[in-house]
Chain A
Amino acid sequence: MSQQSIQSTADADQHSQPLVEVTDLKKHYGDGGRFSGPPVKAVDGVNFEIQEGETLGLVGESGSGKTTLGRTLIQLETATEGTVSFDGRDITKLTGSDLKQWRKNAQIVFQDPDSSLNDRMTIGEIVREPLDAHDWNSPAERRDRVKELLSSVGLQADHYYRYPHQFSGGQRQRIGIARALALEPEFMVLDEPVSALDASVQAKILNLLEDLQDEFGLTYLFIAHDLSVVRHICDRVAVMYLGKIMEIGETEELYADAKNPYTRSLLSAIPRPDPTIDRNRITLPGAPPSPRNPPAGCQFSTRCPAKIRPEAYADIDDDTWSRIEQFREVVRERTRDQMGVRDRVKRRLGTFSKYDDIEEAADDLFADVDLPAGITDTVDTAIEAVKDGRPTEAHDALTREFGGVCDTERPDMHQVSDAGRLSYCHRHDSEYDSVADTLADRSHE
């Protein structure tokens, strides 16, 4: 966040290993029993590293898995797969007293200051508790340390015997920060630490966090959904979508020239004070798919504005194509439904009618456009298949006809800048047009 720490990051690159190194990390929920459905893939194969003293921002929509990722890093959640190395040690395998010892190194500041402090304890007890839990020095020294901590987060020592009720949101967040600092951690996960606060208080807390980082040489993972806050405080940024990192790299570079279609659409949504500036706002259609049933190819493929089309349909106009994509997403969502015995019997007897509303959906989408004959046939076949109760067949047929590499294959992380920025998109393969060109083309048509 400061020039100094960027410098030290650069130095660290050359001769030391990163402080935190995440490899193929996955966190799936509800993956237990024979009777549970498909697991929720909150974090689905994430790789990145954080250098000592640096601040990595983690942004994404709600439900993209940022908080889960942060909680998994400090072992509040157990990773399903993959490793988290901290100073070269895999901490996902730690248990018992090893884990307790390690916990001193990594702390978390929570989003909601109303819920993160126990209302029945005094501020002193709250901040002291980590010290008590680790039997840190003598009780008298602990008390002095707490007072020292309180003053370093901008509170007064005689707040020791007050209760959280007597403080405002910003002050409560400071108390949460003091508690996180108590054990002198090296690494801190800041889980949207300012999103519950007023704008004026936000700035104060952000400045406090920056000062503390300089003072104690902290390393931050800063989780946020506010892109301007991230730009202000982070050295590097990772953009998450549906459990996957879409793009990760130096903040300024990424903001100035995003390579990934998702990052570009996200950045285009930042409000700008100057209305005269020419901006191409990219509006994404629909909502993110359920993390229980992510697309088979690229996670972003169902909404991507730069999705790769099959050769045969290269000339179709964008509006029509976007409707076809939306129709495909409707059909794909249908494949999630588990059919009961009764529905299966009905299907066998040919009286199945639960999915007849697909026709309405198709009408809504296609009523005012003229579909080319080839496309109409495929769409009609799909509609019939869905009505018969076989959405999977319909989905396969549509994918065969309209699908491209984005629907079928997971992209690789491509290096997209000299500074080592990585982006998760098929368009970085040399055989396809670049994201920027495609988006420009499509928006000018």
Chain B
Amino acid sequence: MAANTTHADDTRDTTRRSTDGLWTRIRTNPQPALRWGVVAAVLVVLELGALTGGILTLVDALVMGVTGLIDVIVGLVSPALAGRVVDVQLALSTFIEGVRSTAQSLPTLLSRDVIPNQGYNDPSTVRSFLGLSYNAWTGPFLGLSPAAAWAIRMALTLAYSLFTFYWLYRGWLTFRTHYRRAGWTPRDDMVNRLRNHSWGKFGIVVLVLFLTMSLFGTTLAPSTVQQNITASYGNEVQYVSDDTGAVETIPVGEANFNSKSKGNPAQNVGVMTYDDYGRFHPFGTLPNGRDLFTYMMGGAETTLMVTGIAIGMAGFIAALLALVSSYYGGTVDLSVLTLADGIVSIPQLLLLIMVSVVFQDHWLKSVFNGGLLLALVFGLTTWPVLWRSLRGPALQVAEEEWVDAAKSFGQQPTVTMRKHMLPYVLGYLLIYASMTVGGIVIAMASLSFLGNGLGITPPTPAWGRAISQGQPYVSSASWHIALIPGLIIVVLVTGANALGDGIRDAIDPESEGGSEEEAAATGGGA
């Protein structure tokens, strides 16, 4: 086998395997890179403002997560010092916020300003298009109806983000076929297997859609969180009054008040309907008249922040401790085991309730409307589960002779762990992390469902709270309130599990079909 593969592509070798850097390799054969680069540049320009904004949101979350962890650790030693860290944290966050608002003013093709969907329908306004005259709306894109304008914008945004993701993958393929020195790597096989794994691909699509929802939520929704939910009395909408027939202005809050979904057909704004103020509600409204679709997009951002920080932190701690405990073994392993067992033995829900109460008036509770505190608790209680799953594979790798070989020529333990053990553990981390994410999403939703100071502080959107608000109306005309958020959570959690399955089968084709781990991993929700 080896002899064949060794000689098969020898000719290709000599032509492109030089010792120069990537840049030189691109210069000698610029065409594929150019082709990819032009499209990528167009994609970036299309969404420059939103992309920078999205990246900055992620940076913000990262900064918050890291400084938050430092806060907690420093706070154990000296509360005064922790106060300093908070100052730094807030300064950084304000700075990022500032940059983000500047970024939002960058030209962005797919935005609410370019394709607006809000306005009023004055019957006297008539436009003509291609010789056809029609009754046009004032405000929305091309005078279309708000529903059509919104649908165009949403479809374009989704297409854009799915295509961008695909184009990133294409970029890697271009690198792999034209510029990578190695003709083949073990990772290629994994990617190829994942590419043929439809269940795993479903997971990827769900994840991309979720990321789009949380990063481009403002563009996707018919309204914005700020306008419709958090500052509804600070914003106004124009509408054509039924009574007078004239265009009138009303605060959003008041419009919401008159657009409630309360279960009886007389007082309900259902799925894909307009309210009395010419506003289109794709998912209907909440019992307090707010737009459910906007609410869900806002909730997606909160969910992404919290689960992202939590799973990132848990995964990092778990991988680090798994490497250390399996490399050194003995007492180190035993102490990590004891610590992990100790943490696992605390009921997560009780801990969350306790932390929510204790930190009621603490500044930590105010970061991300309580999201950071939740993320910290989830992160610090989830790592033992991940660590336990990683420890087995890590111990197995630590037994390999190449680890001994590294020791025999005097390699640093940290380098040995990173180069010789981590690549083997990382795949398992991805599997278990994507399966655990479902548990965190559900746990978070349950907290918001319970309410009473738990979970995300109102009025910031949280999926669980939407379900809780819709609970009394499940069997009535306003069934959409609880059902849609519930379905979205189910699809997201299933998608995360599907992705985990896909990665597992990609890494280890022999394991295909096993299902015990998923059950165990998803059962972890509070």
Contact = CB atoms under 8 A, between A and B. Distances in A.
Given A133-B415, A163-B184, A99 B410 contact: yes
B15 to A, nearest CB: 11
B20 to A, nearest CB: 11
A129 B409 contact: yes
Given A133-B409, A158-B14, A122 B182 contact: yes
Interface string A146-183: 00000000000011111101111001000010010011
B186 A76 contact: no
Contacts of B424: 120
Contacts of B411: 129-130, 133
Nearest to B406: A129
Contacts of B13: 158
A161 B17 contact: yes
B182 A162 contact: yes
B409 A119 contact: no
Contact of A116 (B3, B186, B405, B407): B405
Given A76-B408, A103-B408, A161-B181, A117 B402 contact: yes
A166 B2 contact: yes
Nearest to B405: A116
In the A-B complex, list the 3 residue pairs whose CB atoms are closest, starting with the nearest.
A100-B410, A168-B2, A103-B410
A108 interface: yes
A134 interface: yes
A163 B186 contact: yes
Nearest to A115: B401
B186 A130 contact: no
B7 to A, nearest CB: 10
Contacts of A143: 19
Given A76-B408, A104-B409, A104-B410, A158 B419 contact: no
Interface in B46-93: none
B423 A120 contact: yes
17 contacts: A107-B409, A116-B401, A118-B420, A122-B185, A129-B409, A129-B419, A133-B412, A133-B415, A158-B10, A159-B6, A160-B17, A161-B17, A161-B182, A161-B183, A162-B182, A167-B2, A176-B405
B239 to A, nearest CB: 62
B5 interface: yes
A133 B406 CA distance: 9
B182 A108 contact: no
B358 interface: no
Contact of B186 (A104, A106, A110, A165): A165
B80 to A, nearest CB: 38
A112 B185 CA distance: 22
A284 interface: no
Contacts of B409: 103-104, 107, 129-130, 133-134, 179, 182-183
Interface residues of A, number: 42
Contact of A166 (B19, B184, B415): B184
Interface residues of B, number: 33
Contacts of B400: 115, 118
B130 interface: no
Contacts of B2: 166-168, 171
B404 interface: yes
Nearest to A166: B5
A118 B402 contact: yes
A74 B406 CA distance: 13
Contacts of B5: 166
A121 interface: yes
A261 B185 CA distance: 53
B1 interface: yes
Interface string B343-361: 0000000000000000000
Given A112-B401, A168-B2, A120 B412 contact: no
Interface in B157-189: 181-186
Interface in B6-26: 6, 10, 13-14, 17, 19
Given A71-B404, A143-B19, 20 more contacts: A101-B410, A103-B410, A104-B409, A106-B408, A108-B405, A116-B405, A118-B402, A119-B186, A120-B423, A120-B424, A133-B410, A133-B411, A140-B19, A160-B17, A161-B181, A162-B182, A163-B185, A166-B5, A176-B405, A179-B405
Contacts of A160: 17
B187 to A, nearest CB: 8
A190 to B, nearest CB: 13
A260 B480 CA distance: 90
Nearest to B8: A166
B331 to A, nearest CB: 11
A110 B420 CA distance: 16
Contacts of B186: 119-120, 163, 165
A292 to B, nearest CB: 20
A99 B411 CA distance: 11
Given A76-B404, A116-B401, A168 B184 contact: no
A110 B404 contact: yes
Nearest to A119: B186
A165 to B, nearest CB: 6
Contacts of A162: 6, 182-184
A167 B185 contact: no
Contacts of B14: 158
Nearest to A169: B2
Nearest to B407: A76
A116 B402 contact: yes
Given A163-B186, A168-B1, A118 B419 contact: yes
Contacts of A115: 400-402
Interface in A196-250: none
A182 B406 CA distance: 13
Contact of B408 (A101, A107, A166): A107
A110 B401 CA distance: 7
Contacts of B1: 168
A134 B410 contact: yes
B421 to A, nearest CB: 9
Contacts of A130: 409-411
